[in-house]
Amino acid sequence: MRIHLTSVFVDDQEKALRFYTDVLGFVRKHDVPLGKDRWLTVVSPEDPDGTELLLEPSGHPAVQPYKTALVQDGIPAASFAVDDVQAEFGRLRELGVRFTQEPLEMGTVTTAVLDDTCGNLIQIVHSE
């Protein structure tokens, strides 16, 4: 068994697509119209057949309280592996990305947490 698809709830799918592709560097995998929303997934360019991230509309009434609680408590909705947290932090900060946690070394793991501009906190992580 392996993870095929996971999702983050986003306030605006088009805005999320721009952020996750133009800023974070993912690539669009699927973009299928579904009424006013879309089945919109992105993948890592390093693994185009790997796990897909669904940029899921946050229209369900339970989603906003859930997202708000996570953000208020500083809990990331997702975690993405990077080769070098410090380098990625610098690259993203240059692009105007807001971080709620700057790179933090915890033994063999380094993390940082960013705001995805769509209502979520996202963790980037590197472990040795």
* Cα→Cα distances 50→8, 42, 46, 58, 80, Å: 17, 10, 9, 24, 13
Mean pLDDT, to the nearest integer, of 72-76?
97
* Cα→Cα distances 11→17, 68, 87, 103, 107, Å: 11, 12, 28, 26, 35
Contact in structure between 25 and 45 (CB atoms under 8 Å) = yes
User: Global pTM?
Assistant: 0.94
- The 10s digit of each residue's pLDDT in 36-73 is 999 999 999 999 999 999 999 999 999 999 999 999 99
Question: 3-state DSSP call for residue 16?
Answer: helix
User: What pLDDT is stored for residue 128 in this prediction?
Assistant: 85
Sketch the domain layout of the chain as residue ranges: 5-127
Which two three-digit tokens encode residue 83?
């080769």
Predicted confidence band of residue 126 (pLDDT cuts 50, 70, 90):
very high
Contact in structure between 112 and 102 (CB atoms under 8 Å) = yes
CATH superfamily membership of 5-127: 2,3-Dihydroxybiphenyl 1,2-Dioxygenase, domain 1 (3.10.180.10)
